[in-house]
Structure 1
Amino acid sequence: MRDSLGGSIDGVEQTLSERYAAPPAWWRRATIAAVAVLALVGLAWLAWAAYTESTPKVQSQLVSFHVVDEHSVTARIDVRLASGTTDATCTVEALADDHSIVGELHFTPTTGTNRVTVRTERIATAVELPGCTAEGQDRAR
């Protein structure tokens, strides 16, 4: 028995390809090509990001610090600048017992060891080096 549209009432006789049009033949190739292009773009971005993060223009490390008196601390910082790096800036912070910043110094580093004195508003118990930045390197290291 059939209904007025030609379909079977007793059971499903039509296959999906008869009921719905099959996708065009080029659709599969276009999908594969689009996925390949997106994968290549993603891999290129990943390679660029890895290279950029692994070769910073400036790197710094706090080696030691000494509390001189109630209003100053000295710090020894090792800095490595990549060749051709200009406008590098480093930040050193002096911290009190309650972890509040009691002194801060921004300075232009040179390659090698940099000795700096940070003026403080009260006695500092620790020194922190958030890092150094350069043109094109926004994240302090």
Structure 2
Amino acid sequence: MPGGRPRPGCEDAGVTSAQPTDPHDAELAQRYGRRSRWPLVAAAVVVALFVVVAGGLLTWAAVSSSDPEVQSALVTFEVVDSHETTASVSVSLADGASGVQCVVRAYAEDKTTVGEESFVPTGSGRIEVSIRTERRATSVENVGCTADGQTRAR
């Protein structure tokens, strides 16, 4: 823009109407018709349906996982000797929980598994578990408990 004046034919016209401004555009629209809006509407419906289904699945997953049949936590552990470690596990069972099984695992200093014990809790509360180990354990992990209908250990 030398001299501060716009070049001829380059004035800021702006868009003021959705109707064709060129007479040739009007002729083309009359001859061939305008683009249909149904693909845009169909795409919007598909996206809305996907959002509703995804939201429903997310809600179902959250509700079904929010109240497990059984939960457990490692309270403490003690290394008794080179071939035995005891663990204290707190277990909480829901009423009517069946097929409950829990697992604790002992590790050596080099992070190798040196012992594992599965047990079936008889009820809620603190349970003492003895883990036989192949060598001295330095840590214990509560893998968790499962029940019928609850495959994820907690």
SS in 2 for 1:62: strand
2:25 is paired with a residue of what secondary structure?
coil
Q: Report the Cα offset of residue 55 of structure 1.
A: 1.4
Q: Identity rate of aligned residues, in percent?
A: 43
Which residue is 1:126 aligned to? Answer: 139
Q: Distance in 1 between matches of 2:99 and 2:82?
A: 32
Distance 1:100 1:22, change over 3 A: same
- Answer yes or no: is 1:23 the counterpart of 2:58: no
- Give the TM-score of the pair, scaled to structure 1: 0.79
How far did residue 80 of structure 1 move?
A: 0.9
Counterpart residue type for residue 133 of structure 1: T
Please give the alpha-carbon distance, in whole angstroms, between the structure 2 residues aligned to 1:32 and 1:124.
59
TM-score with structure 2 setting the length: 0.73
Match of 1:64 in 2: 76
Task: Give 1:28 deviation, angstroms.
Answer: 5.1
- Summarize deviations over 1:101-141 as a string: whole Å, max 9, x none: 11000111231111110011111111111111112222211
Unpaired runs of at least 5, structure 2:
1-21
Q: Separation in 1 of the partners of 2:59 and 2:96?
A: 23
Which consecutive unaligned segments of at least 5 residues does structure 1 have? Answer: 1-10
CA separation in 2, counterparts of 1:20 and 1:81? 69
Alignment of 1:1-20 (within 5 A): 13-14=24-25, 18=29
Residue aligning to 2:98: 86
Provide, for residues 80-113 of structure 1, a one-character-per-residue CA deviation record: whole Å limited to 9, x for no partner: 1122110111111111111101100011123111
Larger Rg: 2
